[in-house]
């Protein structure tokens, strides 16, 4: 990627890698699972050309950023702490724009909740802010609805899915995840993850090349999957830690975009929450919800031009 600079800075006790390009107001791009800074390649190119400084880190556990060994080092406070220290290092005293997708959206919402002083406006993809349910731990809820084969439930047992992924091979795992485009929940039954055999050929969509997949494969071959799956192993721990913020609203200007074939959009009660006032109640400064027809989970890669324009149009009003 032409003109992209790569840097490593010490934040919160770890070495964090990030890519950046452009001059102007900072847009912090926060990736999801199983991704990297590289997932924002189209946005970095477009927004840096329109007068913004695009900054895209590899989150802890990913790519060229350190991956601490302990599961407990991957709570929402660790991840948000990394990003706050990154911003303090590279853009001190500046309120920034934030874009988050998937886990990156979850982290972006947490950043807005904990440090609204740091965020000028937030643009999230795929995952809306959802309030904490004080009656039930998240994994108990998912297990009750989907059963033990649901991917988040399978991820809870340390080392188990990592062994299965190792057997499948990183390339098959990455292709299976990045090409997942059905509105059904992602199931990883033992012995047959993703519902197909290891030898089943996977056809890549037009928006994802073999060369692009190979970049992910190279990085995940190096880092493994334990660090990134540890995010999921902290859902219940985050739930416990977040009790003091129960009932708090996100008070940052926000915009939300989701594809209508995204599995998240079809989680029980999600459509109703997004469209019938629940989401707006929790995020009072939510300006707009955009549902993109025929688009799956990796919306920023599948429809980069549309997403780039939506990001620019939203943030431009705050310049």
Q: Would you give per-residue pLDDT tens digits along the chain (319 residues)?
A: 789 999 999 999 999 999 999 999 999 999 999 999 999 999 999 999 999 999 999 999 999 999 999 999 999 999 999 999 999 999 999 999 999 999 999 999 999 999 999 999 999 999 999 999 999 999 999 999 999 999 999 999 999 999 999 999 999 999 999 999 989 999 999 888 887 666 678 999 999 999 999 999 999 999 999 999 999 999 999 999 999 999 999 999 999 999 999 999 999 999 999 999 999 999 999 999 999 999 999 999 999 999 999 999 999 999 8
Active site amino acids: 102, 232, 297
Per-residue model confidence (pLDDT) at position 261: 97
Per-residue model confidence (pLDDT) at position 208: 98
List Cα–Cα distances, 96 to 87, 99, 300, in angstroms: 8, 10, 20
Per-residue model confidence (pLDDT) at position 197: 61
Separation CA 92–CA 84 (nearest Å) = 10
Domain that holds residue 137: 5-318
Please tell me the total count of domains within the chain.
Answer: 1
CATH number for the domain spanning 11: value is 3.40.50.1820
Per-residue model confidence (pLDDT) at position 71: 98
Entry pTM: 0.98
């Amino acid at each position: 990627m032409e003109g992209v600079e790569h840097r490593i800075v010490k934040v919160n006790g770890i070495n964090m890698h990030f890519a950046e390009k452009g001059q102007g107001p900072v847009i912090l791009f926060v990736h999801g699972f199983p991704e990297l800074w590289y997932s924002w390649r189209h946005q970095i190119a477009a927004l840096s050309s329109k007068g913004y400084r695009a900054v895209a880190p590899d989150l802890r556990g990913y790519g060229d950023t350190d991956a601490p060994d302990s599961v407990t080092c991957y709570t929402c406070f660790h991840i948000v702490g990394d990003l706050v220290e990154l911003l303090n290092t590279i853009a001190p005293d500046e309120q920034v724009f934030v874009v988050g997708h998937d886990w990156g959206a979850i982290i972006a919402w947490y950043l807005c909740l904990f440090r609204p002083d740091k965020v000028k406006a937030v643009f999230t993809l795929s995952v809306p802010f959802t309030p904490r349910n004080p009656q039930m731990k998240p994994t108990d809820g998912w297990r009750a609805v989907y059963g033990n084969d649901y991917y988040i439930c399978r991820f809870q047992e340390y080392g188990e899915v990592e062994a299965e992924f190792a057997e499948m091979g990183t390339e098959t795992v990455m292709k299976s995840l990045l090409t997942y485009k059905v509105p059904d929940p992602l199931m990883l039954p033992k012995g047959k993850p993703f519902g197909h055999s290891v030898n089943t050929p996977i056809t890549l969509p037009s928006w994802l090349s073999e060369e692009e997949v190979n970049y992910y494969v190279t990085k995940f071959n190096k880092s493994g999957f334990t660090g990134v799956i540890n995010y999921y192993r902290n859902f219940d721990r985050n739930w416990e830690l977040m009790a003091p913020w129960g009932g708090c609203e996100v008070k940052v200007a926000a915009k939300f975009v989701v594809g209508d074939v995204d599995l998240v959009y079809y989680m029980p009660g999600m459509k109703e929450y997004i469209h019938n006032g629940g989401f707006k109640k929790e995020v009072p400064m939510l300006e707009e919800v955009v549902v993109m027809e025929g688009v799956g989970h990796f919306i920023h890669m599948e429809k980069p031009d549309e997403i780039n324009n939506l990001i620019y149009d939203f943030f431009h009003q705050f310049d």
